[in-house]
Structure 1
Amino acid sequence: ARVIPFFTARATATVQISTPGLDKAMLFVSLPATALFVSSGFYPPLFSPGYLMLLSAVLNLLRLGFWFTPKLLKHPLLWSLHLSYLAMALGLLLMALSLLTELLYFKDMLHLVAISAMAAMMLSMMARVSLGHTGRPLLVGNLLALSFAALLLSGVARTLAVLLAKPLLLWLLSGALWLVAFLIFIRVYLPILTSPRLDGRPG
């Protein structure tokens, strides 16, 4: 609720968007949703946690919409964060549908959150923090943009794989995209992280 709009405002020279009412609503929905989902593994729930997950997904999509500005599309360090947040919201939506219908399996929809949301957001933050803490400008080239895109697509491919009768190709594609993403990161950032800071400061 704070980091993504803050980074977006700074990089795009726009006003930082604040949504306190929406943030509180999400807190009051997400915590019971998590508690209900976890407890449902031990006791029969009063109602399906899918309803609260669905509401949480909608609230997350609304919040992401408030944060959006076309200017962020020029900054890989920004669009990677926004797209990974979008993947989280869509993942919640799909997981909710898996609990409320028989069309999807929860464990399969979880891949979108695990790969395209969590892993992709961590990769984007590692890229950003590694630059900032080594005294470098917060700019990345096309190679890192490719890394971000590869990891985001890895989760999409893994999620779509379950919809096919023969998912092996998409499983392999997902794994290959994951490897490409992190090999690029290592190739670009190993020299950065093993060299002195550019500004001469300790660290």
Structure 2
Amino acid sequence: MRNACRAARGLASYAVRRPPIVVILHLAYAWIPAGFVLLGFSALGRVPHTLAMHAFTAGVIGGAIISMITRTALGHTGRPIVADRRDIGCYGLVMAGAALRIFGPLVAPQAFMVWIGAAGACWIAAFALYIAAYALPLLRPRADGKPG
């Protein structure tokens, strides 16, 4: 009854803030308006066009990819679909890489290559952590004993 009352008042949508496996999707999608704002500033000649494109690619697509591959790996290995600390680390590294790639050159354009290197290092670390966490479970039989 309590949940029905909350839903009727429009408060149930705030429940999605809790699980990190859902929060990362919201963070990834938040890059969409950021990308459009940067695209607008790009059209005015205020920022490089590449920064807007990286908001869409590194932010939106990168965030959605790491979110979905962790979720599907958990499901396909028969484990609970709950992000652990490694997954959250992957999410944070991908988001940090996107932020460094986009906002670093805005803050200090003279250190452009430093920002690119730092963003790349974040992505490499994120996907290396993913591989370390999921390579063996994906190669073994499911934890729940079900086929597939």
- TM-score calculated relative to the size of structure 1: 0.62
Higher share of residues assigned helix: 2
Higher relative contact order (CA 8 A, sep 6+): 2
CA distance in 1, matches of 2:29, 2:16: 14
CA distance in 2, matches of 1:86, 1:116: 8
Q: Counterpart of 1:147 in 2: which secondary structure?
A: helix
CA distance in 2, matches of 1:120, 1:112: 10
Match of 2:86 among 139, 143, 151: 143
Percent identity (aligned)? 25
Deviation at 1:67, TM superposition (A): 9.2
Give per-residue Cα distances to partners, 1:123-166, cap 9 Å, x unaligned. 10011011112221111211210110110111111112332222
For the pair 1:72 / 2:16, whether they are aligned, the reply is yes
CA contact (8 A) 1:161 1:168 kept: no
Deviation at 1:120, TM superposition (A): 1.4
**1:45 alignment counterpart:** none
CA distance in 2, matches of 1:67, 1:156: 30
**1:94 alignment counterpart:** 38
CA distance in 2, matches of 1:197, 1:139: 16
Match of 1:165 among 88, 91, 110: 110
CA distance in 1, matches of 2:16, 2:89: 16
- TM-score calculated relative to the size of structure 2: 0.84
Match of 1:194 among 130, 139, 144: 139
Superposition RMSD on alpha carbons, in Å? 2.0
CA distance in 2, matches of 1:135, 1:192: 9
CA distance in 1, matches of 2:12, 2:55: 21
**2:73 alignment counterpart:** 130
Gaps of 5+ in 2: 1-5
**1:178 alignment counterpart:** 123
CA distance in 2, matches of 1:160, 1:68: 30
